[in-house]
Amino acid sequence: FWFLHGFDAEEDSVGSLARMSTKERIKAIQNMPETMRKKREIRNKVLKEISKTSRQPSCCTQCLQGAAVSFRRFGNTLSEYFHQLRVWHRTLKIIGAEFGTSVLSYFVFLTWLLNFNIFSFLINFSFITIPQFLAAEPNNLSFTGLELFTGAGYFQQTVLYYGFYTNATISKTENGPSYNMQLAYIFTVGIYFVICFLILVFSMAKFFSRNFVNPETFSVNASKLLCTWDFNITSEKAVKLKQKNLHTQIKENLTEVNKEVLNFSVMERVLRIAIHLVAWVASLGTAVAAGTGVYFLSINNLELFMKGYRNDLEGQAAMLVLPVIASLLNTLIPFFFSWLGHLEKFQTPGQHIFVTITRITILKMSIVGILCYYWLNIVAASESQCWETLVGQDIYRLVLVDFIFCLLGSFFGEFLRRIIGTTVCVNLGLPEFDIGRNVLDLIYAQTLTWIGILFSPLLPGIQMIAFFIVFFVKKVSLMRNCQPPRKVWRTAQMTTYFLLLLFCPSFVGVLSVIGVTVWRLKPSEGCGPFRGLSSMYAAVAGWIQILESYTASKWVVWIYHNLITRELFFFILSTFVLIVTYLYWQIIEGRKTMSKLLRKEITN
């Protein structure tokens, strides 16, 4: 600690650091037990000392070095500001310390979806909504307030729904640049889904590599015990929080190491298998019954729409019947599935959560599948003037009512349960946070948002606000009403499993729905940017025909005719992806084998 002995010692340290190589100097500054501000001051002094003592470089070299340093400082400052803007950063640390990684994984997934919807909203608002404002016609409908719940009435003639958007080419001046709304709409939605696909794939790959390929790198008990303390922490609260966090992580790792293997007799195994079969039959039967009820209810919902909109309270309330029943089923039946899981008495909490999540996924995807069939085969074939807006209003109500039921679930499922467990029936105790039910609520809401983007471009903005409120409501409910899991366990693969469920069946199913809508269904004749076309995709085909007359755009036409419209191209592309995936899989297996051999050598 020679650099702490006064100003002269600091000058000497700056001189010695300046004589080091770049790599050694960075490592030496990082190892100093100083605050980040002090380390930056030392680094800046070293850089000044180097610039003084070194021979004068050329003007271009000076400019490049100065630009690199300025860019690096700007990047560090920007990252710090973004870090401060993440209001949930400290909250996640507290949750991880108090409740462990199992509950923390839910909130990490929720913040990931929140950022995802912020990105979605910015894309749609920038390339679809803002240009529409230039060509928007005045809204002559009156606002009563009920539209906030029904999505009908005044909102029908706003940028919230597909039917309001124009099919004209927007131009502010007569000979100025123009904006083709048809191409902007379909390309924005298409490119957005491509970006979503890439983000999901890379996120799954990152978590898969961390938790499956080489999990020992991220969860070694010795390193957690001896090498993870941050000596820059000086606040007493931060020290206690860090201690509690490490304590919880070490307990989880030790629980995973000391797993107990239970031996059952033949009769006990037969009884457990019978209980599992009965539970699965009951859960699948419940999902089928719920889907059937939603189908017949949706048929009655369409009849209400075809009668026309009424301004009276009865007509407005009737529009909410379908979303309320669907949300009620999605809220109550998962409690029944959780109860079935407790009856089955799984050996670990992880098995209970994974089985419950699978059953809830079947339920929610069945309901969403029935609704998609109703929208694409019944509503789209109806005599409605603008069936896309009807679908958008349906999805708006489903998203809104699902958000309300999510808040009510925290009240009735956790707050009232705490009151009962602490006053009426003390043996029950405080409730535990139901990870499976809450995670599937998020995936269901995100699935509706993805489906609704084509029919309601601003739906990600509504979901963004809903997720932001849900985060803090769930956080308060968790801290005040719930207890940490009775059995401490580590959930290394939980986030990967959540993303896998979000990708398949959620995202893959949404792509199927969007594909059928864009390529197969005929748009409404009297509304929307694709009015008068045989399909939404016909706008792209018409654009390609226009480009054929321009010599500079021949390459675009060639790509369209020889690649995009050719099944052989996608067959070759799929084969290449499968080969690369197989090669990476073999590399991973080889690394696992090498890791096992190295661990055996270390043991020997």
- 395-434 pLDDT per residue, tens: 999 999 999 998 888 877 788 878 887 887 777 778 888 8
What local confidence, expressed as pLDDT, does residue 2 receive?
Answer: 41
137 burial class (0-12, 13-18, 19+ CB within 10 angstroms)?
exposed
Same domain? For 33 and 133 the reply is no
Q: What is the pTM of this model?
A: 0.77
440 versus 101: which is more confidently predicted?
A: 440
Q: Is residue 493 part of a domain?
A: yes
Lowest mean pLDDT among 89-98, 250-259, 269-278: 250-259
Distance, in Å, from the CA atom of 116 to the CA atom of 199, rounded to the nearest integer, reads 9
pLDDT for the residue 313:
62
pLDDT at position 135, please? 78
C-alpha closest to that of 369 among 514, 498, 500, 509: 509
State mean pLDDT over 12-27.
77
pLDDT of res. 1: 38
Q: What is the pLDDT of residue 42?
A: 84
The pLDDT, as a whole number, for residue 256 is 58
Is 407 within the bounds of a domain?
yes
For residues 499-521, average pLDDT: 90
User: Given a cut of 70, is residue 73 above it in pLDDT?
Assistant: no
Q: pLDDT tens for residues 189-229?
A: 999 999 999 888 888 877 777 665 555 544 455 666 666 67
Tell me: do 269 and 405 sit in the same domain. yes
Using pLDDT thresholds of 50, 70 and 90, give the confidence band for residue 74.
Answer: low
Residues 6 and 100 in one domain: no
pLDDT of residue 218: 47
**Band (4; pLDDT cuts 50, 70, 90):** very low
- Whether residue 125 sits in one domain with residue 30: no
pLDDT attached to residue 297: 87
Q: Which residues, at least 6 apart from 566, have a Cβ–Cβ distance to it below 8 Å?
A: none
The mean-pLDDT minimum among 27-36, 120-129, 237-246, 469-478 falls in 237-246
Q: What is the pLDDT of residue 150?
A: 84
Task: List the domain range (segments joined by +) for residue 491.
Answer: 86-224+265-533
Give yes or no: residues 2 and 115 share one domain: no
- As a whole number of angstroms, the distance between CA 387 and CA 455 comes to 10
Domain C-terminal end among 533, 556, 580: 533
pLDDT, residue 346, reads: 78
Q: How far apart are CA 407 and CA 470, in angstroms?
A: 7
Say if 64 falls within a structural domain.
Answer: no
What's the rounded mean pLDDT across residues 269-286? 90
Average pLDDT over the chain reads 80
Domain count, the chain: 2
Give the model's pLDDT for residue 488: 55
Share of residues in the chain with pLDDT > 70 (%): 80
Q: In this predicted structure, what is the pLDDT of residue 340?
A: 87
Please tell me whether residues 469 and 393 are part of one structural domain.
Answer: yes
**Best-predicted range by mean pLDDT among 23-32, 235-244, 484-493?**
23-32
Q: What is the pLDDT of residue 5?
A: 47
100 and 6 fall within a common domain: no
Is there a single domain that holds both residue 149 and residue 289? yes
448, part of any domain: yes
The residue from 498, 533, 568 where one domain ends is 533
pLDDT (tens digit per residue) in 147-199: 888 888 788 888 999 988 988 888 766 666 778 888 999 999 999 999 999 88
Structure tokens at 145: 């307030």
The answer to whether residue 456 sits within a structural domain is yes
Q: Domain boundary at 500, 533, 566, which? A: 533
- 346 φ, ψ (degrees, to nearest 5): -70, 155
**77 located within any domain:** no
Regarding predicted confidence, which is higher, 534 or 551? 534
Do 39 and 113 fall within a single domain?
no
- Tell which wins on pLDDT, 207 or 130: 130
Whether 117 and 9 map to the same domain: the answer is no
Domain assignment present for 540: no
Let me know if residue 205 belongs to a domain. Answer: yes
Q: Check residues 238 and 354 and name the one with the higher pLDDT.
A: 354
Predicted confidence (pLDDT) at residue 317 exceeds the cutoff of 60: yes
3-state SS string for 298-361: HHHHHHHHHCCCCCCHHHHHHCCHHHHHHHHHHHHHHHHHHHHHHHHCCCCHHHHHHHHHHHHH
Same domain? For 174 and 300 the reply is yes
How many C-alpha atoms does 422 have within 13 Å on its Cβ side? 12
Backbone angles phi, psi at 427, to 5 degrees: -65, -25
Answer yes or no: are the C-beta atoms of 151 and 397 closer than 8 Å. Answer: yes
Q: Are residues 45 and 90 in the same domain?
A: no
CB 60 within 8 Å of CB 258: no
- Residues 132 and 375: beta-carbon distance below 8 Å: no
At residue 75 the predicted structure's pLDDT band, cuts being 50, 70 and 90, is low
